[in-house]
């Protein structure tokens, strides 16, 4: 037996009987070629897990995406992609004045004109949760966690590996595809909106966009719309022992919220009911003072359409509730809203689903086919236990490959 092979086998046997590492965050990625030989699927797993890990390990909470953007651009340039950093106009209250989208395409063409764009977002929600992997010899059941492991760096890694696999096999042409990774999807959607309004976007005539978000590797037929708003209540302060001498802004706000969550703001067979999340409430100065001001911030998931008008329909219904309660003391404001978002899902070989979260799809204007797909579950995204499995990632690579080919053939 050759000496090198003997040493490799001894190393493997030793690791099989070693005491498990109590700190999985520190486990290194294994050399997949040593474990399984040089079969292409093994190399693909190694590349996929390495890329995914490198992305999750870079903290990229919204407004702090610069480091991960540069990391991603370097990765793509090393693999023969032309990259363009599309800078987002800074705002006075932004902690990061150098935010940018990453555009990339295979080869060295100066003027890409892809038929298909593959897109996801590089920002994540707080707080930062470090990367971890549950096994030092990953299998399909191995668990990978950390902030962004699902939403949406799992999609980014799988999309890149899927496209590269198709390019290496000669199944797609370089000029037919482009990658678009944007900032600010979690809030306020400024990355995709900037791309949508840019000269770069208007120079393109793409036919389809594949959006990466956690769908449990099912193809989404659409997702709910959104309405992001606030209500302010004005009252009259006074001593809490004599409530009839004042007017409680908190009490007025509670009554308004009760009516909202008990009113049908819009429902449909496909998307269910419009739901109200009471995200943040602020009111009053002390327990023994009648509060003269209160405010609530709301995220409403809109279950009716059309996309351009569904949000306005819900706005009108909320205004009617507030007007009937107290038109003088209740003020309504919203930043943006839209109705249900329809997606293309007539693709053979996929289970389908309908999602209740929002995406960047409505921020990219134009007429094109829209596909929504990705690894992991939205039920753990934004949560302290955000995680998915190696098998989830590998399945999504194959799913993205099928979607890219389908989009190019249709």
pLDDT, tens only, 230-282: 999 999 999 999 999 999 999 999 999 999 999 999 999 999 999 999 999 99
For 302, the token pair is: 């809109």
Could you tell me which CATH number the domain at 39-222+341-409 has?
3.40.630.10
- Whole-number pLDDT of residue 111: 83
Rounded Cα–Cα distance for residues 245 and 248 (Å): 10
Q: For the residues 88-112, what does the mean pLDDT come to?
A: 84
**Fold held by 225-338:** Alpha-Beta Plaits (3.30.70)
Tally of CB atoms within 10 A around 377: 17
Total-model pTM: 0.86
Reply yes or no: is the peptide bond before residue 152 cis, omega within 30 of 0: yes
By the 8 A CB rule, do 361 and 372 touch? yes
Which segments of the chain belong to CATH 3.40.630.10? 39-222+341-409
Residue 351 is a catalytic residue: no
pLDDT band, very low/low/confident/very high, at 109 (cuts 50, 70, 90) = confident
By the 8 A CB rule, do 185 and 125 touch? no
For 152, the token pair is: 């949406």
| Among the listed residues 69, 74, 139, 127, the one whose alpha carbon sits nearest the alpha carbon of residue 98 | 69
Mean pLDDT of the chain: 90
pLDDT at 27 over 70: no
- Whole-number pLDDT of residue 95: 63
pLDDT at 22 over 60: no
Of the CA atoms within 13 Å of residue 176, those in its CB half-sphere come to 16
342-365: pLDDT as tens digits: 999 999 999 999 999 999 999 999
pLDDT band, very low/low/confident/very high, at 94 (cuts 50, 70, 90) = low
Which segments of the chain belong to CATH 3.30.70.360? 225-338
| Among the listed residues 302, 316, 250, the one whose alpha carbon sits nearest the alpha carbon of residue 273 | 302
Catalytic-labelled residue, pool 59, 67, 97, 185: 185
pLDDT at 137 over 80: yes
Rounded Cα–Cα distance for residues 63 and 102 (Å): 15
For 85, the token pair is: 């950093």
Q: For the residues 193-216, what does the mean pLDDT come to?
A: 96
Total count of residues recorded for the chain: 410
pLDDT at 398 over 70: yes
For 286, the token pair is: 């002390």
Residue given tokens 């890990």 in the structure block: 53
């Amino acid at each position: 037996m050759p000496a090198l092979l003997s040493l490799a086998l001894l190393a493997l046997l030793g690791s099989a009987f070693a005491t498990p590492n109590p700190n999985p965050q520190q486990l290194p990625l294994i050399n997949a070629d040593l474990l399984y030989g040089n079969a292409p699927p093994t190399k693909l797993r190694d590349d996929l897990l390495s890329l995914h890990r490198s992305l999750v390990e870079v903290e990229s909470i919204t407004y702090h995406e610069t480091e991960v953007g540069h990391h991603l651009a370097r990765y793509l340039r090393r693999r023969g992609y032309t990259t363009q950093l599309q800078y987002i106009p800074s705002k006075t209250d932004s902690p990061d004045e150098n935010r940018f989208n990453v555009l990339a395409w295979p080869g060295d063409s100066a003027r890409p004109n892809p038929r298909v764009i593959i897109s996801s977002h590089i920002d994540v929600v707080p707080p930062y949760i470090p990367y971890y992997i549950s096994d030092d010899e990953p299998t399909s059941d191995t668990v990978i966690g950390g902030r962004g492991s699902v939403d949406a760096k799992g999609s980014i890694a799988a999309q890149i590996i899927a496209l590269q696999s198709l390019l290496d096999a000669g199944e797609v042409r370089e000029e037919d595809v482009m990658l678009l990774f944007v900032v600010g999807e979690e809030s306020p959607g400024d990355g995709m909106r900037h791309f949508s309004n840019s000269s770069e976007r208007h120079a393109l005539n793409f036919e389809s966009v594949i959006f990466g978000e956690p769908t449990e590797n099912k193809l989404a037929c659409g997702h709910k719309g959104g309405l992001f708003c606030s209500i302010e209540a004005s009252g009259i302060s006074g001593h809490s022992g004599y409530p009839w001498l004042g007017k409680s802004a908190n009490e007025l706000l509670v009554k308004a919220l009760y009516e909202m969550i008990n009113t049908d703001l819009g429902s449909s067979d496909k998307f269910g009911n419009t739901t109200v999340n009471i995200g943040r409430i602020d009111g009053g100065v002390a327990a023994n003072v009648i509060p003269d001001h209160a405010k609530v911030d709301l995220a409403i998931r809109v279950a009716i359409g059309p996309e351009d008008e569904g949000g306005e329909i819900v706005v009108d219904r909320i205004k009617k509730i507030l007007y009937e309660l107290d038109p003088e003391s209740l003020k309504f404001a919203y930043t943006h809203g839209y109705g249900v978002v329809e997606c293309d899902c007539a693709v053979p070989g996929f289970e389908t689903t309908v999602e209740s979260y929002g995406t960047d799809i409505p921020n990219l204007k134009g007429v094109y086919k829209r596909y929504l797909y990705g690894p992991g579950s939205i039920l753990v995204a934004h949560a302290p236990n955000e995680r998915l499995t190696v098998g989830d990632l590998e399945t999504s690579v194959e799913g993205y490959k099928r979607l890219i080919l389908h989009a190019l053939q249709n």
